[in-house]
Chain A
Amino acid sequence: MSDESDELAMRLKAFEGRAAAVAGAGKDPVNEPMIRHWCEAMGDTNPAYAGPEAIAPPTMLQAWTMGGLSGHTGRSGAYDELLGLLDDAGYTSVVATDCEQEYVRPLRPGDEITFDAVIESVSERKTTKLGTGHFVTTRMDVRAGGELAGTHRFRILKYAPARGKPKARRPRPVVNRDNAGFWEGVGQHKLLIQRCGGCGSLRFPWLPGCGACGCLEWDTVEASGEGSVYSYVVMHHPPFPAFDPPYAVGLIELAEGVRIVSNVVGVPYDKVRIGMPVRLQFERYDEELVLPVFRAGETDGGGS
């Protein structure tokens, strides 16, 4: 608590007991269309909410008091001031955490809604999974035709979001004299395969000399981009900062006959199969890193 002044804590406490809403009025009387829209959204087919004797679902209590897009009516200066104070202290995000409603009498179409609310409590500073902030609890009396219909206690957390660590960047390739040509090709969205100047064998990954004849002369051919999954693994653990397991790592056999390790994308990790046709694409991961990956083709992929 060292970086939050006692002064702020005292100012927050001083809001307890002050009005959050005075003589608020529901924007619409209780009505059948809003009840029906609610029931459709909730999938609630309770016959008590339809027909000439219909009541509103009791859990709609708060809905009748909502400001909607045009904003709240009757909200007190104190409540706005409290939220503003919390905003200024850096607690700019809000999430509802608790709702406690008691229903005194059913609401029916035609009921005119009014409400008053009081700021019941403002908590000490708390640290939650979401971040650090203060819980604000309000209690509202909801009336229909001036008569108490229900009470609604509501708690929100006004918080400063916990700083997620910036997304880690993928590891950089190690570029050296022997493989620089490969990475230059990737930069131009070309997957280059080495071809031996002696025996003509294709080789991948890049090496200074031919594994078949030992010749040091070589040139390159550009891969057509067609290939298939020769083998694969699914990475679950351990997670590395830049990666989001589980994901599939494929050993891709290119149409030219050489194999390359890369990600298989465009298909769920558990739907990757040996022999699956894939096609090369170049994926940009950040402003400086582009990598060749392989997208599973437009097969119907099991169709489950």
Chain B
Amino acid sequence: MRVGDALPPLEIEVTRTLIVAGAIASRDYQDVHHDAELARQKGSPDIFMNILTTNGLVGRYITDCLGPDAVLRKVAIRLGAPNYPGDTMVLTGSVEEVAGDTATVRVVGANGIGRHVTGTVTVTLPPGGAR
């Protein structure tokens, strides 16, 4: 793994089911993540994905790409354009830094309206490098 390497993109279909399942699995019962009518009353066009789900998907993306022996050390994300139902988010990553067995990967999740998430993930790689 070298600086500048790109990870294969991961497409996530942002379904209503994913948004609700992610919110409940993360124990986030804010109405804007499951109740479209209340979300609209709060000025949002629809329900939208919660940050914990985005965080979980970013973590999954990294270990999907680098293998189950890769250990997440740090995940830092910032949200931009919301993930609404019916959209597709494409996660892409590029290696920003490699120091010994530790790599820092820059991750971007783009959806139909912009960048949903930008962030960096620091990950320790198994001996012998990523699979």
Binding site for B on A (CB under 8 A): 34, 37-38, 40-44, 46-48, 57-60, 62-63, 66-69, 93-103, 106, 130, 161-162, 164
Which residues of chain B have C-beta atoms less than 8 A from A57's C-beta? 56, 59-60
The docked-state distance in angstroms from the alpha carbon of A69 to that of B28 is 8
| Residue of A37, A63, A69, A130 touching B29 (CB-CB under 8 A) | A69
Contacts of A47 in B (CB 8 A): 68
C-alpha spacing A177/B51, complex, angstroms: 59
Whether the pair B77, A99 counts as a contact (CB closer than 8 A) is yes
Given contacts A58-B59, A93-B42, A102-B74, contact A41 B51 (CB under 8 A): no
**Interface residue B131 (Cβ < 8 Å from any Cβ of A):** no
Say yes or no: A41-B29 contact (C-beta < 8 A), given A93-B43, A164-B43: no
Chain B residues within 8 Å of A34, by CB:
25
Q: How far is A40 from B20 in the complex, measured between Cα atoms in Å?
A: 12
CB-CB under 8 A for A41 and B21, given A46-B63, A96-B50: yes
- A59, B75: Cβ atoms under 8 Å? yes
Tell me how many residues of B have a C-beta within 8 Å of chain A. Answer: 36
* Also in contact, A103 and B72, with CB within 8 A (given A43-B60, A57-B56, A59-B59): yes
Within 8 Å of chain A (Cβ to Cβ): is B76?
yes
Check B43 against A44 for contact (C-beta < 8 Å): no
* Listed A/B pairs (6) with beta-carbon separation below 8 Å: A38-B26, A46-B60, A57-B56, A57-B60, A98-B78, A103-B72
* B48 to A, closest residue via Cβ: A95
Closest to A69 in B: B29
* A280–chain B nearest beta-carbon distance, Å: 30
Say yes or no: A101 contacts B79, CB within 8 Å.
no
What's the least CB distance linking A69 to chain B, in Å?
5
| Nearest CB in chain A: distance from B19 CB, A | 10
Contact of A103 among B74, B77, B78 (CB under 8 A): B74
Given contacts A41-B53, A43-B60, A58-B75, 13 further A-B contacts (CB under 8 A): A37-B25, A40-B25, A41-B18, A42-B22, A42-B53, A42-B60, A43-B12, A48-B69, A69-B29, A99-B52, A102-B73, A103-B73, A130-B43
A43 to B26, CA, bound (A): 14
- Say how far B8's CB is from chain A's closest CB, in angstroms: 15
Instruction: Give CA–CA (A48, B126) in the complex, Å.
Output: 13
Give the shortest distance, in Å, between B43 (CB) and chain A (any CB).
Answer: 4
- Contact call B79/A161, Cβ cutoff below 8 A: no
Contact yes or no, A99 B56, CB < 8 A: no
Indicate whether B102 reaches chain A with its CB closer than 8 angstroms: no
Among all A-B residue pairs, the 8 with the closest Cβ atoms? A66-B27, A59-B59, A41-B21, A41-B25, A96-B51, A100-B76, A44-B60, A161-B43
A98 contacts B60, CB within 8 Å?
A: no
Chain A residue with Cβ nearest B78:
A98
Measured between beta carbons, the chain A residues less than 8 angstroms from B64 are 44, 46
Contacts of B30 in A (CB 8 A): 94
Decide: A38 near B25, CB < 8 A? Known: A48-B68, A63-B52, A99-B55.
yes
